[in-house]
Structures are given as C-alpha cells and as structure tokens.
C-alpha cells in the first residue's frame, strides 16, 4: 500500500478521516437534537438521534478496521 507524507497508508488515513468526521458530526448532532427539542419537534429530534447513532456505529467500525490494520505491514510505518 502507498504511504503518503503522513507515514500512514492511504486506507488507514481514510479510515481515520471517516472516524474523525463521524465523531465530530456526532458531537454537533447533540446540538441539533437540543434545537429540535427546544422547537418541540420530537420527530426531527428523533431523526437527529438516529443520524447520531449511525455516525457512532460508523466511527466504531472504523476503529475496528484500524485495530485490525495496526501492526500489519499494510498500515504503514506510523501505525506499526
């Protein structure tokens, strides 16, 4: 696998990126839930909660893949 300037292979970098953005979005969605709750729009608050759960699951899956790649020759020097 190609290793870029970061020392991480492209796939590991991509997984870390998706994990970061999923966790960041999950944090932001908490505010969206509060906004919808304050507007008394339970249907929208529930939607944001579902989206938050999906991003949480996405971040967890990335974590599992990163653990799997960690220590392998596929991960690049920064992870091994």
Asked if residue 52 has pLDDT above 90, the reply is yes
Greater pLDDT, 53 or 75? 53
| Per-residue tokens: 71 | 């220590």
Instruction: Note the pLDDT of residue 75.
Output: 45
pLDDT in tens, 5-37: 666 688 999 999 999 999 999 999 999 999 999
Nearest-5° angle of CA 22, CA 68, CA 29? Answer: 10
């Amino acid at each position: 696998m190609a290793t870029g300037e970061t020392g991480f292979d492209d796939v590991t970098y991509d997984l870390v990126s998706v994990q970061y953005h999923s966790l960041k979005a999950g944090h932001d969605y908490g505010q969206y839930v509060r906004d919808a709750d304050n507007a008394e729009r339970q249907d929208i608050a529930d939607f944001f909660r579902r989206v938050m759960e999906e991003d949480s699951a996405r971040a967890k899956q990335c974590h599992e893949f990163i653990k799997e790649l960690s220590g392998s020759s596929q991960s690049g020097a920064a992870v091994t």
